[in-house]
Amino acid sequence: MMVACLSGLAFPSALHVGRPNIGDRSRLLARVEDMCERAWLSNDGPFVREFEQRVADLTGVRHCVAICNATIGLEIAIRAADIAGEVIIPAYTFVATAHALQWQGVTPVFCDIDPVTHTLDPASVERLVTPRTSAIIGVHVWGQPCPVEELTAIAHRHGLKLMFDAAHAFGCAHRGNPIGGFGLAEIFSFHATKFVNCAEGGAVVTNDDELAARIRLMRNFGFAGYDNVIYVGTNGKMSELSAAMGLTSLDCMPHIVQANRENYAAYRQAFRDLPGVSVIRYDETEAQNYQYIVLDIDPTTCPLTRDQLVQVLHSHNVLARRYFFPGVHRMEPYRSSYPDAHLVLPVTEDVVRRVVVLPTGTAVSPRDIEQIGQIVRWGLDRAGELRQRLPECIPPGGRFDEGWA
Ligand code: T4K
């Protein structure tokens, strides 16, 4: 018998982490109509330009170059900034941060993180600097800013370039300044699962005029006008359809933040007083997008393991996700290249086993969250029985909906 049947609390249809915020459909469709009328579908079209201007205005940077996705955005920025050799990045990130470097023939060096903010730990960064290091790429995980000042000081001290993977952090701020203006460049993702989305999309933002010009060229095969190619470029262009989606998403940004913020408050209420389970807090004195509801499961006090809790949630149609399990250093090709990396990443190793991300966004209501809280309470109340039935750990690639019968 499935646990879901026992509790009677299962959702009739799945609640996903990363469910896109669609925005105002009539505005989206009107833009699609315009696009069809103009018969201008890609290559630096009017929607892309408008999207770039609005992102630049919102982040207070001089240049925004829209890109087809953040992974290509990272690759282009890395190449345009002449980054080579070794680059220090957190092991606790989405694999794209490392792949973008590897794809450009640059070696990612995995660094440990702060246990509270989940962003790069400056002391660990400093220890990893070698004569081959050319740059640091911090990641604003969950929209929480990296220790920007400390990383800037380290970069200056060692003559390194500093960039930020800001895939999670559009709409967030650090010390009152919008994410986007820090380091040499910052890279946003506007993927479907992100706070503001273009279905697929990204952007490099920078205050460096020369870098912005190179990125623009590289995004379009290196063309500087008709028939004139002056760089090795790629195709990193954003389509008009993606920009139409992005503009519509920008239009409803305040509504999305509001929904996310209400959901965050509802989760904090629903998960109060649960043994070993806590919702990671946002600094509410800064602008936030509240796009990620992150649970920390303390293995010393929670009666179920993190993976058992995820199994309970999945059995009730709440498709919670482990992030970024098992850590980039344990994914190929990095696992084979650095088989001992985990030995110097104690915090990352701990965090990848503790974190669960829960559904939020405009598709989830505070009422749903109350029910998710009841499901978790139900699971914890029956921990003795469930521990006998559920595997303690699900390996990477394993399924959370097996073994319930
Ligand atoms: N740096 C960081 C720190 C990042 O997190 C990311 C991307 C990047 C760089 C690179 O940005 P992009 O190149 O993607 O612009 C997803 C996303 O594909 C990825 O964009 C995101 N981070 C990453 C954290 O998550 P998967 O493999 O987990 O996606 P998937 O297919 O499992 O979908 C996630 C959830 O969203 C599911 O529960 C289903 C739901 N979903 C997804 C899509 C696309 C929907 O309900 N509707 C949808 O249309 O990677």
Measured CA to CA, the distance from residue 341 to residue 349 in angstroms comes to 10
Handedness of CA 142, 236, 192, 289 (dihedral sign): positive
What is the helix (H) or strand (E) element at residue 311, kind and residue range?
Answer: helix 306-315
Q: How far is CA 4 from CA 274, 282, 315, 381, in A?
A: 20, 31, 5, 14
SS3 category, 278: strand
Ligand 1 contact, 18 CB (< 6 A): yes
Measured CA to CA, the distance from residue 333 to residue 95 in angstroms comes to 11
The 10s digit of each residue's pLDDT in 386-401 is 999 999 999 999 888 7
Ligand 1 contact, 189 CB (< 6 A): yes
Question: Which stretches of 109-175 are DSSP H helices?
Answer: 122-128, 148-158
* Backbone conformation region of residue 134, classed left if phi is above 0, alpha if psi is from -120 to 50, else beta: alpha
The 10s digit of each residue's pLDDT in 104-139 is 999 999 999 999 999 999 999 999 999 999 999 999
Mutate to test the pocket of ligand 1, among 193, 289, 319, 352 (most ligand atoms within 8 A of CB): 193
Ligand 1 contact, 391 CB (< 6 A): no
Contacts of 28 (CB under 8 A, 6+ apart): 22, 244, 245, 248
Q: Tokens 């505005």: give the residue.
A: 27
Closest CA to 191 of 181, 183, 201: 201
**Residue 72 CA: which ligand 1 atom is closest?**
13
Ligand 1 contact, 97 CB (< 6 A): yes
pLDDT surpasses 80 at 78: yes
Annotated domain spans of the chain: 3-14+253-387, 25-251
The 10s digit of each residue's pLDDT in 335-373 is 999 999 999 999 999 999 999 999 999 999 999 999 999
Ligand 1 contact, 79 CB (< 6 A): no
The 10s digit of each residue's pLDDT in 14-51 is 999 999 999 999 999 999 999 999 999 999 999 999 99
pLDDT surpasses 90 at 4: no
pTM flag (> 0.85): yes
What is the helix (H) or strand (E) element at residue 262, kind and residue range?
Answer: helix 253-270
Contacts of 344 (CB under 8 A, 6+ apart): 112
pLDDT class of 316 with cuts at 50, 70, 90: very high
Q: Count Cβ atoms below 10 Å from residue 22 Cβ, excluding itself.
A: 16
- At 278, give phi and psi (nearest 5°): -140, 150
Say whether 25-251 and 3-14+253-387 share the same fold.
no
* CATH number, domain 3-14+253-387: 3.90.1150.10
pLDDT surpasses 80 at 404: no
Task: State the helix-helix crossing angle for 25-38 and 46-59, rounded to 10 degrees.
Answer: 130
Measured CA to CA, the distance from residue 106 to residue 204 in angstroms comes to 19
- As a whole number, the mean pLDDT across the chain is 96
* CB 150, CB 122: distance < 8 Å: yes
Q: How far is CA 239 from CA 6, 33, 225, 288, in A?
A: 48, 15, 19, 28
Instruction: Give domain 25-251's CATH number out of 1.10.569.10, 3.40.640.10, 3.60.20.30, 3.30.460.10.
Output: 3.40.640.10
314: its two tokens? 């999945």
